[in-house]
Amino acid sequence: MELKIELTRQPKEKPADENKLSFGHIFTDHMFVMDWDKEHGWHDAKIVPFAPILMSPAATCLHYGQEVFEGMKAYRTESGEIRLFRPQENFRRMNESHDRICIPKFDEAFLLEALKKLIEIDADWVPHTYGTSLYIRPFTIGTEESLGAHSSTKYKFLIIMSPSGAYYEGGLAPVKIYVETKYVRATPGGTGFAKTGGNYAASLKAQDVAAEEGYSQVLWLDGVHRKYVEEVGAMNVFFVLGDEIVTPELDGSILSGITRKSAVEILRSWGYKVSERALDIQELVDAYHAGTLKEAFGTGTAAVISPIGELKYNDLVMEINHNEIGEISQRLYDELTGIQWGKVEDRFNWIVKVK
């Protein structure tokens, strides 16, 4: 497929102070757009100036939530190189989400090349300060003008990009997590493994309740037994139990995080015993009382590693590792961010250079 390019004639001011960049409010000069219809399949791929998109108020995505998204980052190294972290994994996962939400699949290799081109064009938007990055949001929406509740006959695939600040402004810090016992995020047979907006819509209520109680995110339990640990907000979760590191197995209702996968590979390469298995919340409570719950942390593209300092389950408040960053959490954080920002050797071949 051909990629058309139309450059902006009105480049925007770049953010003056990179230390004040927050997340997801500023967008670069260009975006990628591609359309799908029955006659042409995916077609009309182009890079155009960032601008509002025009669609019918009857577009299917606005009514029945036919939407899929991804989240990834471009990093600038000290020597000025711009690079991506395992982007093939994001496009592969996006196609799996497409399949679940009934959106036609796309050519992953073509999209990676298109993304590299987009970043190259907006290269000056990749921030320079260590810890900052260019957040990349590919997403697909159903755009057919129809109120019929069926899968759309038209789609739009877009990539927008946003320079974002360091996740931990004051350095890595533990968070407080609330174990959700009333609401569920996903169920077997549902869409939990897909990165789709509907999962987020369903999770906002619990997030609000947790925030009111002073907790930053929710730990989800499984939707059937209400006792197996699933994930934390928009992160996968790991627990150090004695000399075993446990993360819930991917059972269809958990999002298959790329940071999760990378963490498992790194930990195993260091010789740790990592188990992907069912984890009953009661096992965590017992480990806490026995003193073997040593560390807990979340993994995701945004925070990379998020140490958990406190876990509240019903009336039990469990302080983990004295509410301090654990040794394994810190080491993993340093290794992953080191690989991403080019300070540690890329021994797994995870980095894809843009320029």
Ligand X SMILES: *Cc1c(COP(=O)(O)O)cnc(C)c1O
Name the site residues for ligand X (rule: CB under 6 A). Answer: 71, 195, 231, 234-236, 255, 257-260, 299-301
Residues 6+ apart with CB under 8 A from 283: 241
Half-sphere exposure of 258 (CA within 13 A, CB side): 22
β-partners of residue 241 are 244, 293
| C-beta closer to ligand X: residue 176 or 260 | 260
Q: What is the DSSP letter of 47?
A: E
Least distance in angstroms from the C-beta of 274 to ligand X: 16
| C-beta closer to ligand X: residue 47 or 257 | 257
Least distance in angstroms from the C-beta of 257 to ligand X: 3
Cβ 109 vs Cβ 117: under 8 Å: no
| C-beta closer to ligand X: residue 15 or 71 | 71
CA pair distance 46, 254, nearest whole angstrom = 33
| C-beta closer to ligand X: residue 156 or 195 | 195
Would strands 175-179 and 217-221 be described as parallel, antiparallel, or unpaired?
Answer: parallel
Least distance in angstroms from the C-beta of 300 to ligand X: 4
| C-beta closer to ligand X: residue 135 or 288 | 135
CA pair distance 19, 26, nearest whole angstrom = 14
Cβ 261 vs Cβ 300: under 8 Å: no
Rounded to 10 degrees, what is the CA torsion of 321, 323, 329, 333?
Answer: -160
Cβ 83 vs Cβ 354: under 8 Å: yes
| C-beta closer to ligand X: residue 108 or 324 | 108
Least distance in angstroms from the C-beta of 133 to ligand X: 13
Least distance in angstroms from the C-beta of 186 to ligand X: 9
Least distance in angstroms from the C-beta of 66 to ligand X: 17
The CA-CA-CA angle for residues 293, 294, 299, to 5°, reads 100
